[in-house]
Amino acid sequence: MARTLGRTVHRMPQIGEVERGLWLASGFGGHGLNSTAVAGDLIARGIIDSDQTWRLFAPYELVWAGGLLGRALAQGIYWGSRPVDRIEQEAAIYRSRAQARKDARVAARKGAV
């Protein structure tokens, strides 16, 4: 199943008030779920308390992403990175299990002495 990922050109989330009463929170691709909660909090504080902290994201405004070709290129890069990520994940699991086996052997030797 093909998946698309919402990423921005500058790889930073876009958070803020686009125009009076119209708020934006997007472009969280690769930043994890927690950043969406932070965006919601910033926007809520901006609406309710007129807090301006969300303006820290102003430098990462909406930019042209290259049209259809730019989107296709970004999607291709994302799909291409998935096998590399999978290999890194498998290597980390292998190292973790190898360390656990080593720790078990050391513990067994200490118990035998």
Taking alpha carbons only, the member of 54, 66, 56 closest to residue 9 is: 66
pLDDT of residue 6: 63
List, for residues 72-86, the tens digit of each pLDDT value: 887 787 788 778 888
CA dist., res. 58 & res. 21, Å (int)? 16
Q: Is the pLDDT of residue 47 over 80?
A: yes
Beta strands in the chain (DSSP E): 14-19, 22-26
Q: Return the amino acid letter for 63.
A: V
Percent of the chain scoring above 90 in pLDDT = 36
Q: What single-letter DSSP state applies at residue 1?
A: -
